[in-house]
Amino acid sequence: MSSSPSTHAGSRWTPESLLPISAWMVLLLAVASSFAVALWPSRPTSGRVMWTFAKPLFERYVPIIDRWNQSSTPKVDLRMLGLVPLERRMLASFMSGTPSADLIEVERRVAARAFAGPVDSVGFLDLTEEMRKRGLLEILNPPSLSPWTSRGRIFGLPHDVHPVMLGYRADLVEAAGIDVSQIHTWDDLARVMAPLMADKDGDGQPDRYLINMWDNHEDHLELLLLQAGGAYFDENERPVIDSPQNAHVLAKVVSWCHGPDRIAADAPDFMASGNKLKADGYVVCTFMPDWMCDVWKHELPSLAGKIKLMPLPAWSPTGRRTSVWGGTMLGIPRTAARSQADVDELMTFAEHLYISLDLARELYRAGGIITPVRPHWSDPVFDEPDPYFCGQSPGRMYINMAPHVPPRTASPYNVFAKMRVMDALVKLSAEAKQTKTWDLAALEAIAIRHLRSAQRQVEAQLDSNVFLRKDGAGG
């Protein structure tokens, strides 16, 4: 036998008396997360635990941490997890409020997932005042703090800068008598390097293309948007997707990849097929963040002495000559900082690891990565000539770019926004090919239309989060 809810003594049921489905989902996830964290196997440790996600980083940290453990406290137990398991365990811990590691090293996409709630409930400890007290804000490259800064608060120490330059086939360029010092803008690159696209084999197609990219490369698109002054979000983490700068870049990318003035081709990074195309000279120029230099040395040793670096061509005569691709931080979970003594202990170790000159030298020599610690930029290691790059000093060249990398936001919706902008680019490409529209102004008008749709989708996603929506409800 059942009774109507309205007949229960002392209560009257209304739809408003139920928790919304989203609240139940959060509650269930929190309960499940608590059980998951509690049941995860762990080995005992007498000191502090640090998680990292990448084997190369793990291997570079081991000798530094071993030396630390010999004479300093706290003793640190470094553990490597895959990126996906680390993300799951980290978020489960943050949602349930149960302990995980004492220090967590994460890349940008994973870190941003922690910034979805109210700022005082972010799972990472707010390090802003600690960094100011220790003088770190004065010595760190300011743009390198931006991916770890949400609503004006800094939640991680930056591991890197990752400026982007253009790597080009110096052997092909110089054999053609081309002077790259004449290249200041992307339009200059298309004009000055045009002779390299000659059809010498008579098949009706260029023998090679000038830029390695395609309209499905989300990282390439993002670095170009940032370089041009575009973005997915503004400094207040509100979407600015349908901006003229973004529309201009999308239109230009479509013109590069399709139509009568095509100059781009796809030689995918991190793939054997792409490496073969690069080695064959099918593409002349490739986007090269500092870490990509090490990738090429390992994956394309046959190109040693044939590659040089140059600043990115700008979008305007006085525009930015670099961009940024990737990034990693070291954060302290709130659950590990129960007292100021804990904070002091963990910050002392974090500072020793991330701010040390030893690590700066090791990251550069072993991985091509330049440090965000500005006082270390004068170290001679960055002036060492590199035979792979025809005797250039990549470290010094990237450091010269470091202060100019564009800032980025730490929105937890970065990935969602990036996908919606990619959708807009795909639709723009399809429409341009179908209608054979190649005029840049016409392409920009179409791009704005698709970007406005993307803007609405991202705004709706943000406005469903009471902590981030534009009316400020919830904190």
Q: Are 315 and 331 contained in the same domain?
A: no
- Read off the pLDDT band of 33 (50, 70, 90): very low
* Residue 323 or residue 475, greater confidence: 323
The pLDDT value recorded for residue 31 is 46
Residues 199 and 55 reside in one and the same domain: no
Task: Report the largest interatomic distance among the alpha carbons of the chain, rounded to a whole angstrom.
Answer: 92
**pLDDT average, residue stretch 287-306:** 97
Beta carbons of 411 and 452 less than 8 angstroms apart: no
Instruction: Give the per-residue pLDDT at 124.
Output: 96
pLDDT at 312: 98
Concatenated DSSP letters for 288-355?
EEHHHHHHHHHH-GGGTTSEEEEEPPBSSTTS-S-EE---EEEE-BGGG-SSHHHHHHHHHHHHHHHH
Q: What is the pLDDT of residue 34?
A: 44
- The answer to whether residues 266 and 213 touch, using CB atoms and an 8 Å cutoff, is yes
Over residues 398-408, mean pLDDT: 97
pLDDT digit string (tens) for 71-115? 998 999 999 999 999 999 999 999 888 999 999 999 999 999 999
- Write the CATH number for 271: 3.40.190.10
Q: Band of the pLDDT at 373, cuts 50, 70, 90?
A: very high
Helix segments in 142-196, DSSP class H = 170-175, 186-192
Query: Could you report the per-residue pLDDT of 299-318, keeping only the tens digit for each?
Result: 999 999 999 999 999 999 99
Residues 91 and 185 in one domain: no
**Same domain, residue pair 148 and 174:** no
On whether both 315 and 239 belong to a single domain, the answer is yes
124-157 pLDDT, tens digit each: 999 999 999 999 999 999 999 999 999 999 999 9
Is 3 among the domain residues? no
Residue 249: per-residue pLDDT: 98
Indicate whether 28 and 124 sit together in one domain.
Answer: yes
Q: Are 106 and 329 in contact (CB under 8 A)?
A: yes
State pTM to two decimals: 0.87
Please tell me whether the peptide bond between 74 and the residue prior to it is cis, using omega within 30 degrees of 0: yes
User: In percent, how much of the chain has pLDDT > 90?
Assistant: 81
CB 147 within 8 A of CB 327: yes
Same domain, 252 and 330: no
Residue 40: pLDDT band (50, 70, 90) is: very low
**Per-residue pLDDT tens digits for 212-262:** 999 999 999 999 999 999 999 998 889 999 999 999 999 999 999 998 999
pLDDT of 467 reads 59
User: Which residue, among 139, 143, 160, has the nearest Cα to 403 in the 3D structure?
Assistant: 143
CA–CA distance, 240 with 4 (Å, rounded to integer): 50
Examine residue 225 and state whether it is found in any structural domain, yes or no.
yes
Domain end residue (candidates: 313, 336, 355): 355
Residue 248 located in a structural domain = yes
The answer as to whether 471 is a domain residue is no
Residue 241 in domain: yes
Q: What is the pLDDT of residue 235?
A: 87
For the chain, helix, strand, coil in percent to 5 are 50, 15, 35
How many structural domains compose the chain?
Answer: 2
Name the band, by pLDDT with cuts 50, 70 and 90, for residue 117. confident
Label residue 468 by pLDDT band (50, 70, 90): low
Q: Please indicate, yes or no, whether residues 151 and 171 belong to a single structural domain of this protein.
A: no
Give the separation between CA 85 and CA 52, rounded to whole angstroms.
11
Regarding whether 57 and 26 lie in a shared domain, the answer is yes
pLDDT at residue 366 is higher than 50: yes
| Residue 472 confidence (pLDDT) above 50 | no
Are 216 and 87 part of one and the same domain?
no
Mark whether 145 and 241 lie in a shared domain. Answer: no
Q: Are 180 and 241 part of one and the same domain?
A: yes
Within a domain: residue 395? no
Q: Is residue 367 part of a domain?
A: no
The model's confidence at residue 353, banded by pLDDT at 50, 70 and 90, is: very high
- Residue range of the domain that includes 141: 22-161+326-355
Question: Which whole number is the average pLDDT over 424-428?
Answer: 97
Domain boundary among 336, 355, 374: 355
| Of the residues 355, 376, 403, the one at which a domain ends | 355
91 inside domain: yes
Q: Is the pLDDT of residue 36 over 70?
A: no
